[in-house]
């Protein structure tokens, strides 16, 4: 970490045990992301209206290259936050999830779904169990009866609008999945 972590107790006496627990959680964050630049933590009690006791507000701000991640745990959100250790735990658990998500994105581990293409059935041969789709880019894409989702091949006709997933076939592009669209062909 480039700067020392900042831990602030507002409106309460600093707790050495709570400070130690926060420092342990900060060290864990540093293991999750190799380039933590800085971390600021504040713990503050809020009086409950009409009741004795406090609920704790915890804010964790973590700086990594190109990002500042912030987690606020408001006292009204969780009754369990009447215990400062529980409030700190919940705030750091949330920050760990955010750091893990950011690290996955930065590593490129996040799945991206290939968008399905659109087109219209240009030719269909029900007896032979095949047809072709006029893709929106002008190409002709072959498909087979088994590619049509939900056993709806028999309901397709020339002009039916479809979504499809394309793959390379032996004789050119073909649709591995065909989803009929429109009123007569509900989406799965």
Mean pLDDT of 52-56: 73
Question: What CATH number is attached to the domain comprising 154?
Answer: 2.40.50.140
Q: Cβ(72)–Cβ(138) under 8 Å?
A: no
Higher pLDDT, 93 or 80: 93
Q: Determine what percent of the chain is predicted with pLDDT higher than 90.
A: 49
**Distances from the Cα of 126 to the Cαs of 100, 111, 118, 154, 179, in angstroms?**
50, 37, 21, 7, 16
Based on the domain organization, do 159 and 74 belong to the same domain?
no
Which one of 64, 85, 107 terminates a domain? 107
Domain boundary among 107, 141, 156: 107
- Please check whether residue 129 lies inside any domain of the structure: yes
pLDDT for 23-40, tens place per residue? 999 999 998 888 899 999
The whole-number pLDDT of residue 111 equals 63
Query: What SS3 class is residue 170?
Result: coil
CB 187 within 8 A of CB 181: yes
Does the residue 24 lie in any domain?
yes
pLDDT at residue number 114: 64
77 contact partners, CB below 8 Å, separation of at least 6: none
Query: 99 and 122 share a domain?
Result: no
**CATH label of the domain that carries residue 24:** 3.30.160.100
Q: Are residues 82 and 149 in the same domain?
A: no
Q: Is residue 82 part of a domain?
A: yes
Q: What is the mean pLDDT of residues 159-187?
A: 80
- At 6 the pLDDT is 95
| 145 domain-assigned | yes
Mark whether 10 and 65 lie in a shared domain: yes
Instruction: Give the tokens for residue 95.
Output: 């920050």
Please give the residue range of the domain that contains residue 157.
117-180
Q: What is the average per-residue pLDDT within 161-177? A: 86
- Tell me whether residue 188 is in a domain: no
The 10s digit of each residue's pLDDT in 83-140 is 889 889 999 999 999 998 888 887 777 666 666 788 999 999 999 999 999 998 888 9
């Amino acid at each position: 970490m480039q700067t020392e972590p900042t831990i602030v107790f507002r409106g309460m006496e600093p707790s050495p045990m709570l400070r130690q627990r926060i420092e342990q959680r900060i060290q864990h964050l540093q293991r999750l992301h190799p380039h933590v630049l800085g971390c600021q933590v504040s713990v503050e009690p809020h009086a409950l209206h009409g009741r004795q006791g406090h609920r704790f507000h915890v804010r964790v701000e973590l700086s990594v290259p190109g990002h500042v991640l912030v987690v606020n745990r408001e006292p009204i959100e969780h009754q369990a936050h009447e215990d400062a250790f529980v409030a700190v735990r919940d705030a750091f658990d949330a920050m760990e999830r955010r750091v893990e998500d950011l690290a996955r994105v930065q590593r490129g581990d996040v799945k991206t779904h290939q968008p399905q293409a659109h087109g219209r059935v240009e030719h269909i041969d029900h007896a032979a169990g095949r047809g072709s789709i006029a893709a929106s880019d002008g190409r002709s894409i072959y498909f087979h009866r088994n590619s049509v989702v939900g056993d709806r091949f028999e309901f397709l006709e020339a002009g039916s609008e479809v979504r499809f997933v394309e793959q390379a076939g032996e004789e050119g592009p073909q649709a591995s999945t065909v989803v009929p669209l429109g009123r007569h062909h509900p989406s799965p």
